[in-house]
Structure 1
């Protein structure tokens, strides 16, 4: 079945399509109701089905005789450690931890916060919670105490599982003081904290704490607990640095069905293949494609600890791929822009045998055409930009390599996947013609695995996602759909700027700037202007070794934008910066940069044509770029 046939089959009978997809799982009680729409616009997939995600991700592969196959390959250059865990070994460790949690009173439906570095024990903790029906909430390891505290207060966990520290290139990050500070700040107190002690910095344990191995000693391994299809597997928070955090609960059955379907149909991964998602389990990408999807499908997942770019050198990506036989690499465009910046000629790539690599998938930010062309030229494999969100948990628009490789249009996230009815809407909610820029919305219901509400905040879910466009989910992204049905995600809705009445996408300007030979990466934001309302301003990071005068490069950038987009863009503000401010997941903090230009960091005049003001903005962005972005977070 090709893409067109699959999409038409879904559109003709969504329930039949997703009922057939559900047959890939083991069910304790197969669902009789595929979609419950009795509370629309609040929907539920497979509500009367009963299953267990851990069974489907671990036990069934062992039962099928594949216990000796590698489930997890752990590669940690920051600790000089490599380790392979088979499915049989994973089963034993998960069952033992599940039994330990159960022995301390953790029951089905209880929440468990996981605050761990990128170690196999993080995945073991997630699966152990799934095994006993507890709801895990992973918080990115090393996040500040306040961010952890607001999540503790919202999820109200019975227990917290944490590492004593995280390891980053050149430094050790103590987690235990952050955890203690968070518990002190939080109104809710967990009953106990299980601490995984790392030799690089063991933590001093308090009265509430139990040590990871001692905690599990002598316990009865846990069996898998039956879980209803609409019960949450986990809660993942998309924000929370201020105010009430926004928790996305992932329904168990829909999540497993959707992720299983994607592995072959989108990523062309078969059981036994090795896939590497270069992300962190603290983000949705790590939940979906480091942990659950590969294991549900019976593949081997690479768990990497460290920063692949520059640790220990620009060849780390290629060393991992070659050494472990990686078939599919999934990472962020930011990573490849960084590689291209330090190794523009691909000298490190040629040192490794990459014949095993068949596909490169990019997501997290819009992949600029220059980066895609560079990766295609250097790797000789399809480079697939695809688009999805924390809220969806899997691809909204992409190129389904397992169904049918479609022609690549650079700059596009390709086409909607089965399950997603995409519309481009104007401010009044009416659908816009093909090729016009507008808000991207998804007609309800969303497919299995997607956000159906917020954790204990249904009204906030309605207000945040459903209120703007009746009958549709507001993605908060802006873009176009061309005549061939290809989707171009151009910017966050907030990043569409209004220049003298003309709506412009900052992504389109960034595309022009990133194509300049000296530019490694860039960001464009809208800044206030008394005459035109807003003006675009560009920030340019240059490739290593560029020695041309910066003024010359800026003039070239301005001329190129005026040439390719036109005078309507009014692009005349640009500067070179050494580094752009980013989140821990590698996303550029455009919103924070825009706040600087809006005067939240310092008093702004009516117009910013004054060179002194431009220099002040440039200095502020530089300071952010070198700061610790641990306290910032955005949608992965």
Structure 2
């Protein structure tokens, strides 16, 4: 960041963040053994010693000879070693009499149907499915696509692929034909495992029908395995096989294949408006080790825990925290198929009560939704067994943090990571570290960062800049599928020798990190650079604001101006918008003045709860969406925004 930029948007505009007080860890939130273990981990001699400790928590079929070779843009871990992800996540617990009958997955469908699968049962289904996939011609290195929502079969399919060394890719179940076809083409998938349909907001969504249309353009797909989610016994066509039949054909099972920890394990395609989907590649051992550590520090297994990862399997968070990291830690994972406001706003609380949930991971949007539903609803559903809420995926505002801490009575751990980092890498460790409302704490062991100006020089605490990672770690993506040059140019060209997150951040004077949002969300208002996320943090601090999104739109005079979309609490007064505008000016200065404020009852979100800010911008600038809307959860929310803005027609 240039000196002029730093001067114009320096510490003064960040006062609302930098002055945030530390929230001490309460005695009832403290887990002494985790405090001791974290201290020991931080005392290890550097990142490589730490990752060696993590590696020793896993089961290896062949020991490694070298912990790490290479640097951040070209590295390998645990050369010579061999291991298997399914063996570590499933078999090791199924073989132990003390854990074989522990619930691995506690599942609930939107209609209310439930299923509980123990580690022993999960191991049996995984090995049968793996053998069945081999019978369909799937071999080590082949790509298997998984097109389904949060079902037990998502767990079994991922680990069946892990077992035989197939590469899996999860397609978001909200994707339409074009999005599915483009990703199958890019991945060169040979087999797709799909649910015949899913339930979403009480209605079945026909996935198999969409896949069939997409397959006309994906000649690499040789076979489809169909999970009968609805019980409708949909007639199968050529090349389509019932999931139950594939299990039966693999009744003899198959052993776990020892794999090089640096081999590709899965692809995840980043969303956006680019014409060609970008398939980020994560490795076998790297992803296992990093996600084990992630789940261990961010959540931590304690006897009797039921850990609900309230995210979609198509969001990388779910494989990190549930399918791989959670199971690698031996946790019981709660899994829910549907929408958390269906059929009533009490659904979240009812799931926690029904399944004795002790820890929850979600996007901040879910907590804001609970706050919007009101204190009376929360009071009607006390959750005495709840011990933790941890959030990630988008910025957490201080008011939402405070509401959850006070109303739910638990610590709120705010974590930060990216698709490319393969895990969250900075957060206050559960049960061991103090909190700050909205900050993402400090890096966990094995990770190192810097905040740089635009010329690559470190900035002082209190000054925002470009967030980079300076040391390799196992879960960092290894390449972009079929395009390694794109990988190097996207992440390592701007700051050579460092991984560019493309996010802006600031370090406060207590050593806590604040991620301000994408660097490309920085707007120029009359020559002043400012992050829309900074303005958003001020807007959400207004007591009547339940949710907010700030975007920049073109302006003839200033070039760009910020506008805000806000959802207000019930009973908010008509004066709230002007109060919000005055608050922004008072805390950040006149250059940050909101040009317009739109009060809307809902905002367009992905199924994982992320607000789709580009769609909000499109409605104002173009009158409707100009890019892909396949990841949007509820088109009615965009229609509501359009009515508020005054757009004549919006089609999602």
| Residues 406-485 of structure 1: pairs in structure 2 closer than 5 A | 406=434, 408-445=435-472, 447-485=473-511
Q: Cα distance 1:420–1:190, how it changes in 2: closer, same or farther (>3 A)?
A: same
Distance 2:105 2:157 in 1: 14
Distance 1:71 1:386 in 2: 24
Bigger drift between 282-291 and 40-49 goes to 40-49
2:414 corresponds, among 385, 398, 405, to: 385
Displacement of 1:568: 3.0
TM-score by length of 2: 0.88
1:42 corresponds, among 71, 74, 80, to: 74
Q: RMSD in angstroms over aligned alpha carbons? A: 2.5
Partner of 2:47: 14
Give the conservation status (yes or no) of the 8 Å contact 2:191–2:221: yes
The CA deviation string for residues 120-146 of structure 1, in whole angstroms up to 9 with x for no partner, is 011111111111111111111131111
Partner of 1:609: none
The CA deviation string for residues 86-141 of structure 1, in whole angstroms up to 9 with x for no partner, is 11111111111111011121111111001112210111111111111111111111
Partner of 1:607: none
Give the conservation status (yes or no) of the 8 Å contact 1:73–1:302: yes
Displacement of 1:453: 1.5
Q: Cα distance 1:409–1:162, how it changes in 2: closer, same or farther (>3 A)?
A: same
Give the conservation status (yes or no) of the 8 Å contact 2:564–2:597: yes
Partner of 2:57: 24
Give the conservation status (yes or no) of the 8 Å contact 2:620–2:647: no
> Aligned pair count?
604
Distance 2:152 2:417 in 1: 26
1:179 maps to 2:211: yes
Give the conservation status (yes or no) of the 8 Å contact 2:397–2:438: yes
| Residues 290-439 of structure 1: pairs in structure 2 closer than 5 A | 290-308=322-340, 310-343=341-374, 345=375, 347-402=376-431, 404-406=432-434, 408-439=435-466
Distance 2:584 2:559 in 1: 19
Q: Which runs of 5+ in 2 are unaligned?
A: 1-34, 627-638
Distance 1:2 1:419 in 2: 17
Give the conservation status (yes or no) of the 8 Å contact 1:581–1:624: no
Q: Cα distance 1:7–1:468, how it changes in 2: closer, same or farther (>3 A)?
A: farther
| Residues 241-256 of structure 1: pairs in structure 2 closer than 5 A | 242-256=274-288
Q: Aligned to 2:429, what secondary structure does the other structure show?
A: coil
Distance 2:295 2:129 in 1: 28
Q: Cα distance 1:617–1:178, how it changes in 2: closer, same or farther (>3 A)?
A: closer
Distance 1:617 1:200 in 2: 35
2:588 corresponds, among 554, 565, 577, to: 565
Give the conservation status (yes or no) of the 8 Å contact 1:581–1:621: no
Displacement of 1:592: 3.2
Partner of 2:230: 199
Give the conservation status (yes or no) of the 8 Å contact 2:619–2:642: no
Give the conservation status (yes or no) of the 8 Å contact 1:260–1:293: yes
Bigger drift between 88-97 and 515-524 goes to 515-524
The CA deviation string for residues 56-80 of structure 1, in whole angstroms up to 9 with x for no partner, is 111111222121111110112x222
Distance 1:624 1:590 in 2: 16
The CA deviation string for residues 555-611 of structure 1, in whole angstroms up to 9 with x for no partner, is 1111111122222313342121222222232211223333455558599xxxxxxxx
Distance 1:25 1:627 in 2: 51
Distance 1:573 1:106 in 2: 55
Displacement of 1:6: 5.5
Distance 1:3 1:512 in 2: 37
Distance 2:549 2:276 in 1: 29
The CA deviation string for residues 220-252 of structure 1, in whole angstroms up to 9 with x for no partner, is 211111111101221111126642211121111
Distance 1:167 1:625 in 2: 31
Partner of 2:579: 556
Bigger drift between 617-626 and 155-164 goes to 617-626
Give the conservation status (yes or no) of the 8 Å contact 1:34–1:46: yes
| Residues 262-301 of structure 1: pairs in structure 2 closer than 5 A | 262-270=294-302, 273-301=305-333
The CA deviation string for residues 460-501 of structure 1, in whole angstroms up to 9 with x for no partner, is 001111111111111121120112221111121111122222
Partner of 2:610: 587
Distance 2:56 2:180 in 1: 38
The CA deviation string for residues 318-374 of structure 1, in whole angstroms up to 9 with x for no partner, is 22223322221100111111121122x2x2222334222111101111011111111
Partner of 2:598: 575
Give the conservation status (yes or no) of the 8 Å contact 1:158–1:192: yes
Give the conservation status (yes or no) of the 8 Å contact 1:582–1:625: no
Give the conservation status (yes or no) of the 8 Å contact 1:142–1:178: no
Give the conservation status (yes or no) of the 8 Å contact 1:238–1:245: yes
Distance 1:589 1:314 in 2: 22
The CA deviation string for residues 273-324 of structure 1, in whole angstroms up to 9 with x for no partner, is 211110011110111112111111111000111112x223222222222332
2:156 corresponds, among 121, 124, 133, to: 124
Distance 1:542 1:43 in 2: 48
Q: Cα distance 1:133–1:236, how it changes in 2: closer, same or farther (>3 A)?
A: same
Q: Cα distance 1:626–1:260, how it changes in 2: closer, same or farther (>3 A)?
A: farther
Q: Cα distance 1:52–1:61, how it changes in 2: closer, same or farther (>3 A)?
A: same
Q: Aligned to 2:330, what secondary structure does the other structure show?
A: coil
Q: Cα distance 1:281–1:622, how it changes in 2: closer, same or farther (>3 A)?
A: farther
Distance 2:523 2:306 in 1: 42
Q: Aligned to 1:314, what secondary structure does the other structure show?
A: coil
Q: Cα distance 1:529–1:295, how it changes in 2: closer, same or farther (>3 A)?
A: same
Displacement of 1:520: 1.4
Give the conservation status (yes or no) of the 8 Å contact 2:469–2:501: yes
Distance 2:132 2:81 in 1: 28
Q: Cα distance 1:442–1:371, how it changes in 2: closer, same or farther (>3 A)?
A: same
Q: Cα distance 1:331–1:623, how it changes in 2: closer, same or farther (>3 A)?
A: farther
Distance 1:4 1:223 in 2: 35
Give the conservation status (yes or no) of the 8 Å contact 1:114–1:160: yes
1:100 corresponds, among 132, 135, 160, to: 132
Partner of 1:53: 85
Distance 2:517 2:239 in 1: 45
Distance 1:291 1:627 in 2: 37
Q: Which runs of 5+ in 1 are unaligned?
A: 604-615, 630-636
Distance 2:59 2:260 in 1: 13
Distance 1:47 1:269 in 2: 29
